[in-house]
């Protein structure tokens, strides 16, 4: 098998000895080693196709790896697995300024794609904490969300064209730059968000936006959850199309983030219950700044907001966003940590979070509960720090967080996906018939069950 794989990609593109594979041990913040018998680095769609033809014939299970930043155990491996890493498919093939599109191979790191668009005065409106490592293939296959979903939608909304390789090596290409195409099923959607279980994404065409010429951010402190909802409505109305971010941070979480570095000491005090970060992207700096500062002033006059800081320069703006994005500060607080990204209808979030916190506080091994999220999307993240860890303790915490999801018509995964870790809770968010249809799709596209086997279903 190794010899045949080397024949496809060349000797330098297959790692099969333990030492060389070390780089692949770094699945985000875990010490889980790559156990696969080999890691292979294709450089083209054709090579992926040949690898998959070989795997299909030999019933060889494959785990696809991108930037390894997923938080749901998707890229863990068994000794008998073959890892396909997209690291060497890292070319930005084209930026078409007239169509406002970007064609990228799936191993391109998000930050590189953002910079390339920026240099052409365009914007790829994807932004989240793992942008320095996460790759396009991982992002598309998990339909990542992030900090600007409120205005631009999830990754799914940003894709015009896609190319993928099926488990039997067949290449499915839908590399079109058009927005409207109702000629039958929208095949590319099958691969977006299916976490590599239906095909290996090799290329994508993104729809880009004109680069905004102004960006302003404010940090707002509030004492009451109803005021948080009022502030969201108030800003959506007042900023209309330019509101692009509305991030909510619970008081305890903000305190830990702010205290993590002296550089944050000029930010708002830590004695409030909630903090919101607002982002406005526009095209007229003077007008945008006046509008945002006026709205914040009004929010304070109306007693919606208690205190606020409008970033006056780039340094302050970056400081506010660094504080929000560096969630590793929270994860590092405890010996072990457990992450959640649930969706709930906005009005029930406070009540459900309080119920969960009350129950979690009763567990002796829980020493930190951090809550924050993309409130406008109804997406709440928990990072729960633990002094001890085992399967039972993890399960107990899962059950507390997921208890009322079904009743509230929420979701066990707003954006990180199901992977291996959340499989047993898929039925909190999906009906029996939905899961059956997923199984039918999987059986049709991957009859040998060799692609990311054991993920999602
Ligand atoms: C600090 C931090 C912040 C984060 N913030 C967010 C956030 O705000 N929003 C959000 O949505 N996520 C967030 N994440 C989760 C993670 O970054 C995303 O899920 C990301 O999209 C994963 O990309 P990756 O390249 O690291 O994929 P990997 O972790 O390598 O893989 C993820 C999944 O995609 C599959 N895959 C990878 N490449 C391909 C391919 N070419 N074809 C088919 N399948 C493939 C893998 O098999 C796996 O199932 C965060 C993670 C961290 C560590």
Give Dmax over CA atoms of the chain in angstroms.
72
Q: How many residues does the chain have?
A: 457
Query: Same domain, yes or no, for 161 and 173?
Result: yes
Q: Which residue has the tokens 């219950």?
A: 273
Query: Same domain, yes or no, for 61 and 96?
Result: no
Ligand 1 mean position, distance from CA 370 (Å):
21
Query: Same domain, yes or no, for 119 and 227?
Result: no
Best residue for ligand 1 mutational test, from 72, 131, 138, 198 (most atoms within 8 Å of Cβ): 138
Among protein residues, the one with the nearest Cα to ligand 1's atom 9 is: 146
Q: pLDDT band at 240, cuts 50/70/90?
A: confident
Residue 82 inside a domain? The answer is: yes
**pLDDT tens readout for residues 265-295:** 999 999 999 999 999 999 999 999 999 999 9
Q: What is the CATH number of the domain that holds 230?
A: 3.30.70.2190
3-state DSSP assignment of residue 65: strand
Position in ligand 1 atom list of the atom nearest CA 191: 43
- Are 17 and 67 in contact by the 8 Å Cβ rule? The answer is no
Domain boundary among 55, 87, 119: 87
- Are 127 and 212 in contact by the 8 Å Cβ rule? The answer is no
Residue 433 inside a domain? The answer is: no
Q: Which residue has the tokens 């939905």?
A: 434
Task: Check residue 31 and give its pLDDT.
Answer: 64
Ligand 1 mean position, distance from CA 26 (Å):
14
Residue 276 inside a domain? The answer is: yes
Nearest to 330 by CA among 256, 393, 268, 263: 256
- Cβ–Cβ contacts within 10 Å for residue 305, how many? 26
Ligand 1 mean position, distance from CA 345 (Å):
24
Among protein residues, the one with the nearest Cα to ligand 1's atom 53 is: 69
Confirm or reject: Cβ of 247 under 6 Å from ligand 1.
no
Please check the confidence at residue 210 and state whether its pLDDT lies above 80. Answer: yes
Query: Same domain, yes or no, for 103 and 206?
Result: yes
Query: Same domain, yes or no, for 206 and 228?
Result: no
Instruction: Report in angstroms the alpha-carbon separations of 93 from 15, 90, 101, 206, 280.
Output: 26, 9, 11, 12, 31
Residue 297 inside a domain? The answer is: yes
Query: Same domain, yes or no, for 198 and 219?
Result: no
Best residue for ligand 1 mutational test, from 130, 189, 248 (most atoms within 8 Å of Cβ): 130
Confirm or reject: Cβ of 105 under 6 Å from ligand 1.
no
Confirm or reject: Cβ of 373 under 6 Å from ligand 1.
no
Q: What is the CATH number of the domain that holds 107?
A: 3.30.465.10
Domain boundary among 44, 64, 87: 87
Query: Same domain, yes or no, for 305 and 411?
Result: no
Number of domains in the chain: 4
Position in ligand 1 atom list of the atom nearest CA 106: 41
**pLDDT tens readout for residues 8-61:** 999 889 888 655 554 555 555 566 777 888 999 999 999 999 999 999 999 999
Query: Same domain, yes or no, for 102 and 203?
Result: yes
Please check the confidence at residue 434 and state whether its pLDDT lies above 70. Answer: yes
Query: Same domain, yes or no, for 121 and 203?
Result: yes
Ligand 1 mean position, distance from CA 67 (Å):
7
Confirm or reject: Cβ of 34 under 6 Å from ligand 1.
no
Instruction: Pick the range with the lowest mean pLDDT from 65-79, 153-167, 406-420.
Output: 65-79
Query: Same domain, yes or no, for 201 and 225?
Result: no
Residue 13 inside a domain? The answer is: yes
pTM of the model: 0.93
Confirm or reject: Cβ of 415 under 6 Å from ligand 1.
yes
Please check the confidence at residue 202 and state whether its pLDDT lies above 70. Answer: yes
Q: What is the CATH number of the domain that holds 46?
A: 3.30.43.10
Residue 456 inside a domain? The answer is: no
**Inter-axis angle of helices 391-402 and 349-361, nearest 10:** 150
Task: Check residue 317 and give its pLDDT.
Answer: 96
Task: Check residue 241 and give its pLDDT.
Answer: 87
Query: Same domain, yes or no, for 336 and 368?
Result: yes
Position in ligand 1 atom list of the atom nearest CA 195: 49
Per the structure, the complete domain to which residue 348 belongs is given by 328-416
Query: Same domain, yes or no, for 253 and 234?
Result: yes
Domain boundary among 181, 210, 239: 210
Q: Phi-psi bin for 279: left (phi > 0), alpha (psi -120 to 50), beta?
A: beta
Residue 284 inside a domain? The answer is: yes
Q: Which residue has the tokens 């680069």?
A: 211
Residue 427 inside a domain? The answer is: no
Among protein residues, the one with the nearest Cα to ligand 1's atom 36 is: 138
Ligand 1 mean position, distance from CA 420 (Å):
13
């Amino acid at each position: 098998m190794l010899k045949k794989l080397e024949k496809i990609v060349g000797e330098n593109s297959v790692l099969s000895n333990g030492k060389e594979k070390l780089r692949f041990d770094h699945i985000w913040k875990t010490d889980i080693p790559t156990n696969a018998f080999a890691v292979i680095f294709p450089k083209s769609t054709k090579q992926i196709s040949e690898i998959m033809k070989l795997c299909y014939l030999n019933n060889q299970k494959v785990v696809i790896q991108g930037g390894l930043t997923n938080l749901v155990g998707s890229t863990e491996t068994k000794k008998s697995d073959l890892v396909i890493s997209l690291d060497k498919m890292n070319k930005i093939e084209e930026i078409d300024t007239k169509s406002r599109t970007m064609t990228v191979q799936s191993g391109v790191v998000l930050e590189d794609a953002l910079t390339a668009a920026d240099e052409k005065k365009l914007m790829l409106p994807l932004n989240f904490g793992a942008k320095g490592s996460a790759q396009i293939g991982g992002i598309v296959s998990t339909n990542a969300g992030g900090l600007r979903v409120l205005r631009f939608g999830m990754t799914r909304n940003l894709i015009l064209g896609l190319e993928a390789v099926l488990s039997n090596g067949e290449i499915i290409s839908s590399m079109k730059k058009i927005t409207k195409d109702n000629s039958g099923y929208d095949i590319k959607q099958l691969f977006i968000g299916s976490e590599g279980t239906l095909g290996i994404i090799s290329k994508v065409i993104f729809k880009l936006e004109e680069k905004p010429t102004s960006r302003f951010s404010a940090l707002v402190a509030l004492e009451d959850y109803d005021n948080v909802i009022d502030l969201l409505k108030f800003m959506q109305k007042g900023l209309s199309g330019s509101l692009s971010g509305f991030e909510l941070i619970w008081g305890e979480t903000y305190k830990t983030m702010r205290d993590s570095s002296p550089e944050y000491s000029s930010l708002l005090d830590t004695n409030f219950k909630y903090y919101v970060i607002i982002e406005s992207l526009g095209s007229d700096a003077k007008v945008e700044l006046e509008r945002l500062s006026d709205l914040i002033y009004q929010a304070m006059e109306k007693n919606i907001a208690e205190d606020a800081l409008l970033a006056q320069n780039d340094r302050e703006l970056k400081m506010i966003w660094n504080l929000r994005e560096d969630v590793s500060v929270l994860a590092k607080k405890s010996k072990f940590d457990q992450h959640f990204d649930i969706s709930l209808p906005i009005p029930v979030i406070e009540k459900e979070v309080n119920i969960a916190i009350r129950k979690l506080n009763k567990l002796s091994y829980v020493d930190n509960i951090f809550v924050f999220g993309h409130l406008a999307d109804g997406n709440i993240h928990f990072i729960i720090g633990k002094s001890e860890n085992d399967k039972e303790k993890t399960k107990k915490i899962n059950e507390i967080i997921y208890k009322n999801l079904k009743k509230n018509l929420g979701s066990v995964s707003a954006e990180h996906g199901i992977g291996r870790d959340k499989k047993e809770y898929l039925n909190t968010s999906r009906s029996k018939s939905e899961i059956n249809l997923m199984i039918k799709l999987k059986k049709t596209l991957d009859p040998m069950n060799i692609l990311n086997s054991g993920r999602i279903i």
